[in-house]
């Protein structure tokens, strides 16, 4: 996995995935009763901790995984941008359908 590239590409979309820290994220997962839980890769669906939100609608969509891409720095960057764009478009459609 290439977390630094994922973080860098998220920040290009103005998503600061590191600002609140892992402890804060885990605390939020425990305290929030989510309406929806969406996993975005098969690995997350199978390996990430269970989030206890008994009324949540659980959705899964396996997006393109750029962490396994091999190529030049420019090609790798493009692969991460592709994944980010796919997730962004999926979430826009999700919001339009549900809210």
Dihedral angle at the C-alpha atoms of 66, 86, 4, 9, nearest 10 degrees? 130
Q: What is the pLDDT of residues 54-81, one digit of tens each?
A: 889 989 999 888 988 999 999 999 999 9
In terms of CATH, what superfamily is 3-98? Answer: Response regulator (3.40.50.2300)
| pLDDT attached to residue 19 | 57
List the domain boundaries for the chain: 3-98
This prediction has a pTM of: 0.65
| Res. 31: pLDDT tops 80 | no
């Amino acid at each position: 996995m290439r977390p630094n590239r994922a973080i860098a590409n998220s920040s290009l979309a103005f998503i600061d995935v590191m600002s609140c820290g892992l402890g804060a994220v885990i605390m939020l997962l425990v305290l929030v009763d989510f309406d929806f839980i969406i996993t975005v890769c098969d690995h997350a669906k199978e390996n990430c901790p269970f989030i206890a939100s008994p009324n949540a609608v659980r959705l899964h969509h396996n997006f393109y995984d750029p962490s396994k891409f091999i190529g030049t720095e420019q090609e790798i960057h493009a692969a991460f941008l592709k994944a980010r764009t796919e997730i962004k478009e999926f979430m826009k459609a999700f919001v339009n359908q549900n809210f």
